Structure 1
Amino acid sequence: MNAYGNFKEFDRARWAALRSRTPLLLSEEELEKIKGLNDKISLREAEDIYIPLTRLINLKVRAAQYLREVTSAFLGCEPVNKPFIIGIAGSVAVGKSTVARLLKTLLSRWEHHPKVDLVTTDGFLYPTRVLEEKGLMARKGFPESYDTKQLIDFLSKVRDGERNVQAPLYSHITYDVLPDQFEVIDNPDILIVEGINVLQVSKRQPVFVSDYFDFSLYIDADAEDIRSWYIDRFLLLQQTAFREPLSYFHRYADLNNEEAVQRASQIWESINLLNLNENILPTRQRADLILRKGRDHRIHEVYLREI
């Protein structure tokens, strides 16, 4: 048994071989639009890691669709199209958003599930006003800063095949939920849910977000590497988004390089690393598949839960 417990370990070459003959229907231009700010994902990475992964997910989606059909036949009723829901978890700055967008693009090109939607849990954070009232601004991103009841209600409706379900939107400029603005999820074949705490459990509630997942991923890396990526991203944002007058972080735009690195390090140590160690990393073993990144941002190992 490896350090990850009851998971089967694949090095990059063994995992890439599971691609079989699945084609890569993705251009360099499309990949550039999918990438995060400082993510170094390449077409080779898509071929070696994400094409085998989408092949595995495709098999699971088809199996779920078949099971729904035979169950409906047994019950003598028409099958209801219910989305296959995928959860993606991991630390801030580990590359979850890029993985989510890449999987959305690749999975939509399989004929059995062309309609793929993506939501992030950022929209289910409490608004800044509420966080300030609760004294939680310094713990934004921690489990208690999310309206988990609203998120579970959303997933329940989507799971039941309900049409036109609204997911709240979030602005990374204002660092707040956008009032009265929503994304409409209309009965997709696959729904991807991306967020740092989507695999979280709590003794205070009987139902968990992950209860609605058919498959889940955890993006893993050494904390020191994630810290480096977080600081790099902070410096990039300082030269771009932070310069927007409406940006919540506009006050950091004029810091010199040394001051910016120091401030990013403080935020990482006092908030993000604490959240990673207390809440996010302990959920890793609950995932169905773990993608392990190296310092170069490339996936070096894949761990698949044993059946």
Structure 2
Amino acid sequence: MNKQNLNIAIAGLSLNHSEELKIQLRSLIPQNYMLQWVTATDPNIDCLCIDESFYKTENIQQIINKKCFPWLKTSIPSSTQVQLENNILFLPVTEQENLFEWINRSLISAPHKETLSDELLITNEMETETLDKKFFLNLYDIQHNSKLHLHDDAGTLAVIHPAQNTAWLNTQRTIKSTNHSFHYNLANTTDLTKVSRKDKFILQDWLWNLFWNSPEVIDNLAPEDGHYKIRTWPKPSDQSNRKIIFQLSACFIQGGKISKIAEQLNLSQNTVRHFIATNIAANNIEKINIWDKHYAPPPQEIKQEEQNTIQSFFGKLRRKFGF
């Protein structure tokens, strides 16, 4: 780039990681360049460092596709990896060599915009959004301490603050469900005007009910079978299925196998799998081993004894009152 100043946006990172990355960039970019820290929506942006959780969100993709500039996705490695690979920068930065080479190649000696635009087009075509488990887990990542805008093709659903387990809803929405266009991105000031801040809702409870009412969004998360345990009891707003939800909760709070619980409760496996998928999307479940503690139905002889006691009680009432 010919100009002697660089407008760099860092979005979606925690405060600690953001400040650390600023220090690293300042130390690696030649001192004759003045660094300006801007927002992702700044019209003069030269470079974007975006957490991978938000890279595929609609507004970020629009910005990247509309303007031709280099970008890095940031991630936290799950194992020992190189510091920077395929435009993914793994934090914290412990080895500066790869980042230094990327800065020289992409910022200081950047390719022509036409070439960069072609590279971005190829990359974006290769990366398609899927509503997988990771997509939903990012809704609950409190590390960013950011507000998220939840929306679909019908408009705003809510603005949420995962760190505070809070949701502010769009009170104009009467339908309590969503569809495959469900998406989220970092909330801005305009997004906040679309929701009511008068009433706060418990985020996990609200999301559980949203996903329960949106089978087309979450049912692909459901495994065919397996052993699972939910962490907390859901608070269902679905009155017609309230009994079934509580029955399933009573079983899976202890741990259970999908096919076994379906058989014991005389429910279809699809109903049980939908319950499991809802809890996966709501981050309210964990997979357990076959040898872990599981729900066990009462022995048949105890159930028969309880039935005999009830019959005896009503028999005494009939004799006493002449029924």
Decide: shared fold, TM above 0.5.
no
Q: Which has the higher contact order (CA 8 A, sep 6+)?
A: 1
Question: TM range, normalised to the smaller chain?
Answer: under 0.3
Q: TM-score, normalised by structure 1?
A: 0.25
Larger radius of gyration: 2
Q: TM-score, normalised by structure 2?
A: 0.24
